[in-house]
Structure formats: structure tokens, C-alpha cells
Structure 1
Amino acid sequence: MNKWIVAVLLVVVVAGCGVEWFPEDSTTSGSKNSNVSFSFEGTNKCSQSPGSFADSGPIQIFNLQTSATISVSGTATSKYTITNQSPRSDQGVIRPGETVSVSHQNAAQDATSKITITTLTIAGKSASFKSSIDPCPQGTTTIQ
């Protein structure tokens, strides 16, 4: 009977030691990455050649504390590229300190919409990169 009491006490002590038996999945948008922020402001492009590819150039991800899921949506040609990796369109993982860029093929000359949009999502937060084959609005250098 004394062995039973010792075993129960051992379980209670170990359970109360702050050990994470089920650690947070670092690839989700958990509380550690709740303040993640990024933007394509100033990188959106206009006056692009029809059918050519537009690239946002690398952007910094702010407040990324742990690895997080990353995905892209938009057109069939929408892709993202993490620092020193190949472009991809499937879901992946980005780590703190890495940068990312997105790209897509611009609209065709006869397309109904002259603007192409690719949306990047990291840790549940999203931002869109836009390109247009139309000229920039007067007095600007990017799509607003």
C-alpha cells in the first residue's frame, strides 16, 4: 500500500512542475505569433507588361516569435519564396528572421480585370500584393 501512495505523490509532483506535456504546435498561429505583421504597401506595381511576371521583392515579417504556417492564394501562378528557397504555392513553414516575397503572372492584354492579386497568409494574418497592366494613377508609382 505504501508503494501506491508513493506512486500517486510522484505523479502529482511531476504534473505540477510546469512540464509541458503537450507543447504548443509552433506551426500554428498560437499566442506567440499573435502580433505578426507584414505588408506589401509600396511594393504593388503598375504599368506591367501583359503576361509577364511581377515580384514583390522581399518583405520583412515583424513579431514572428516561432515558426508559423505560410500559404499563398490568388491565381494559378501565385507563389511565395522564403529566403534562399525555391518558389512554391503549397503551404509551408516560415521561421523568425526569414524574409518572403510573392510573385504572379500579370493579366493578359485582353483580360477583363487588369489587376492581378496574390494574398499571402502567415500565422493567420494576410496581406495582398497587386500588379496591374494599366498605368499608375496620376501622381503615384504603385497601385493603392
Structure 2
Amino acid sequence: MKQYLPIYLGTLIAMSGCNAYYNQIETISVDGVVQMEGKPIENAEVTFFSDNLPMAFGMTDAQGRYELSTRRYGKGATPGTYTAKIHMTDQTAEGGTGKRLTIPKVYSEKGVASVTVSHDEGRTFDFNLVSKPSKKATDWLDIESEQ
């Protein structure tokens, strides 16, 4: 039994170190609604992507609502600036109807908008997509950011 004590103590120390790091990362609750031309989108993945922050993601329900979380730090997103992207899944549909819906690739490749998550301003982000977006990313990014 005594021979396993150093291993047991080392494991406990390592685990407490991980938990201390886990608790140092702040997350802010982030939610919103995704629609296509005013109609909710069901089963679409919303991701907030940044080069230097943990990615946050969530799935839309039948009303188009989503709530973000991170793989490592739980619910919410860390404060900072992200590119919001909307990804189609095999089950993406017009909210509550089951009717398959195609989301233009530009929303998953280039993004929908630049968003800032913070205590003061950014906690709810609603996105109203159009079925035929402009070919120039800067055109629709500017429009979405103004809303």
C-alpha cells in the first residue's frame, strides 16, 4: 500500500492543478436566435471562432435558439472578439417543419459577423441569414455587423 502512495498523491496534485487552471478561465453566457429570412433554422451549428480564444459552439433548436459552450470550459464563451459562423448539419431544417434547408456555404466558410463577447455588451447574438447572400464577404459582413 505504501508503494502506491506517491502515485496516488501525484495524481491528486496533478488533478488539482488542472482544476485550478479550469477555474481561471472566465466564460460568459452567450445565446441567440438563427433565422433564414425571418424563419427559424433548426439543427444548425453556431460557432464562435477566434485564432487565440477557445472555440464556442451550440446547436439550434426548433425555434432557432442556441446557447454556446466550449469543450474544455463548459457553458458560455470566453470574453473577446470572434467570427460567428453558421454550419449546416445533416438534420438542418426550417424550424419545426422538418423541411430540409440549405444554408449557403459563405456563412460557414467566411462567417456571418464579427462579434465581441463581453460583460457590458455581448451576450445575445441573433442572426438573420438570407438564402442568396452577396458574393463579396465584406458586403454582408458590414450589413450583419450593423444590425
TM category, shorter? 0.3 to 0.5
More helix by share: 2
Higher relative contact order, chain-length normalized (CA < 8 Å, sep 6+) = 1
Rg: which structure is higher?
Answer: 1
Per the normalisation by structure 1, the TM-score is 0.32
Per the normalisation by structure 2, the TM-score is 0.32
